[in-house]
Amino acid sequence: MKKVILFIPKWKFPIYILLSAFLTGLTAIALIPTIRYLDTESSRVSDFIELVGSFGSAALVLIFSVIFTSYVLLFFRYERKRYREYLITKMVEEIKHIAEGHFDQKVTVEDEQRIGEIGNNINNIILQSEQAIADQKRSAQLKNDLVTNVAHDLRSPLTSIVGYLNLINGDQYKDEVELRHYIQIVYNKAESLHHLINDLFEYTFVQNREALMNEVPINIEEMLNQMIVQYQYQVQNAGMEMRLFQSSPINPVVMGDGNKLARVFENLIQNAIRYGKDGKYIDIKLTETEEMAEIEIANYGQVIPSADIPHIFERFYRVEKSRSEYTGGSGLGLAIVKSIVELHNGQIEVKSSSGKTAFIVKLGKMIQMKYNNF
């Protein structure tokens, strides 16, 4: 109501008041003959007029006030209709402007009723469209980055393979020892390509929500013990020691794909070996609540710079920017880890400070009843 009153031009108020007063007078003039006629023809009307007359002038003032207010309300309804038409016209113009590609524009919401609700819904659609456009641009950029990164990572080893094969094919080596050296280089480069292509296929595969096909109960404590045994030799060769810490197990069982979860812990342990040699230890910590199993894999080597933390799980992102095969893998390992964890409706985070880098995986556990039946 307040907005309608503010919408009415000030010069109209005295006009509407004068018109209401004028129409009230006309109404009174028209009613007097009618009342006199009914007074003579109907005893009930005559009694009513006598009753009203007993109140004196107060009754007349009340009657004329009601008539005057009715006319004012009629004018107000007219202005309210004009206000709604104004809002609709303005909304249509704004929608046309937005439809021309000005998605930064929003529909003005000045009404809290149905028109305002329509405006809010249109603005929500615009926001969703903006988000979809932003997601599409980001997706296109990610695809371009993927092609660029894959091209770089494929071209470097392929160039080396072709170069050394040309040397071998042209008999450009001194002796069999140098020949074997060239063959070993070609083999290493080919193996690197093999790992990269496998990582690419796996990363693409785990992006699909339907990729998680083999959900079974998995005892996380047993899986971690298997990981320790599996990587014992590799850890010792790196001059390191792997330690397992755990609270008293309540029910360390989650539903998931065993092979994929094993890949998560394999990648994190390999990452700890690669970057944590200076710290000598890889600590694996298992803690539990009634609903969650939390696995922390920590090393005490290189600290991840704070600027790199938000990007550490992005595909092809490397803290070491030279993209050297000696200082990093394919750049897909942590992206695969994050995708697999999210595929299991879990969470992963990284904390790196004070000489310690820890990757923390959180997985939802089976309820106790299911575990007992299992």
Q: Does 8 share its domain with 96?
A: yes
Does residue 124 fall inside a structural domain? no
Give tens-digit pLDDT for 31-42.
Answer: 767 666 655 665
Q: What is the pLDDT of residue 198?
A: 79
Residues 278 and 347 in one domain: yes
For the ranges 38-52, 128-142, 247-261, 286-300, the lowest mean pLDDT is seen at 38-52
Model confidence at 94, in pLDDT bands (50, 70, 90)?
Answer: confident
Share of the chain above pLDDT 90, in %: 11
Mean pLDDT in residue range 99-128: 73
Write the pLDDT tens digit of every residue in 65-82: 888 888 888 988 888 888
Are 155 and 242 in the same domain? no
Residues 334 and 233 in one domain: yes
Specify the number of domains making up the chain.
3
118 found inside a domain: no
Domain boundary among 186, 206, 226: 206
Q: Report the pLDDT value the prediction gives residue 371, as an integer from 0 to 100.
A: 40
Q: What sign results for the dihedral spanned by CA atoms 186, 198, 347, 254? A: negative
Q: How far apart are CA 244 and CA 130, in angstroms?
A: 48
d(CA 120, CA 110): 10
Q: Which residues contact 183 (CB under 8 A, 6 or more apart)?
A: 168
pLDDT of residue 330: 62
95 and 202 co-located in one domain:
no
pLDDT at 292: 86
DSSP class per residue in 22-62: HHHHHHHHHHHHHHHHHHHH-HHHHHHHHHHHTTTHHHHHH
Band (372; pLDDT cuts 50, 70, 90): very low
What is the band of 113 on the pLDDT scale with cuts at 50, 70, 90?
low
Give the model confidence (pLDDT) of 187-205 as tens digits.
888 887 887 787 777 777 7
pLDDT at residue 325 is higher than 60: no
Is 135 inside a domain boundary? no
Mean of all residue pLDDT scores within the chain: 79
Residue 121 has pLDDT above 90, yes or no: no
DSSP 365: B
Q: How far is residue 259's CA from residue 72's CA, in Å, rounded to a whole number?
A: 79
57-71, 196-210, 259-273, 304-318 — which is least confidently predicted?
Answer: 196-210
pLDDT: is 133 or 296 the higher one?
296
Q: What is the average pLDDT across 202-214?
A: 67
For the ranges 135-139, 217-221, 325-329, the maximum mean pLDDT occurs at 217-221
Among the candidates 167, 188, 206, a domain finishes at: 206
User: ∠ CA 278-283-312 to the nearest 5 degrees?
Assistant: 70
Burial label for 263, CB within 10 Å (0-12, 13-18, 19+), is: middle
Q: Which one is predicted more confidently, 155 or 267?
A: 267
Do residues 321 and 281 touch, judged by C-beta distance below 8 A? no
Clarify whether residues 316 and 353 are in a common domain. Answer: yes
Tell me: do 190 and 225 sit in the same domain: no
Which residue carries 């330690």 as its tokens? 243
In a shared domain, residues 162 and 220 = no
Q: Are 90 and 70 members of one domain?
A: yes
Q: Give Cβ neighbours of residue 107 (< 8 Å, ≥ 6 apart).
A: 91, 94, 95, 98, 119, 122, 123, 126
HEC string for 246-259: ECCCCCCEEEECHH
Q: Given 187, 206, 225, which residue is the final one in a domain?
A: 206
pLDDT of residue 299: 93
Are both 185 and 150 inside the same structural domain? yes
Question: Do 81 and 24 share a structural domain?
Answer: yes
Whole-number Å distance between alpha carbons of 275 and 298: 11
For the stretch 127-138, pLDDT in tens is: 777 777 777 787
Let me know if residue 122 belongs to a domain.
Answer: no
121 is a domain residue: no
pLDDT of residue 35: 62
| CATH code at position 169 | 1.10.287.130
Measured between alpha carbons, how far is 92 from 103 in angstroms, rounded to an integer? 15
d(C-alpha 279, C-alpha 135), whole Å: 41
> Which tokens sit at 369?
């009843």
Q: What mean pLDDT is predicted for residues 200-228?
A: 78
296: confidence class by pLDDT, cuts 50, 70, 90: very high
**Do residue 201 and residue 241 come from a single domain?**
no
pLDDT at residue 176, rounded to an integer: 87
User: pLDDT band at 322, cuts 50/70/90?
Assistant: very low
Residue 192 sits in which domain range? 143-206
Residue 132 forms part of a structural domain: no
Which pTM does this prediction carry? 0.56
Q: At what angle do helices 114-169 and 176-206 cross, to 10 degrees?
A: 170
Whether the predicted pLDDT of 318 surpasses 80: no
The predicted structure's pLDDT at residue 370: 42
157-181 tens-digit pLDDT? 788 889 889 988 888 888 888 888 8
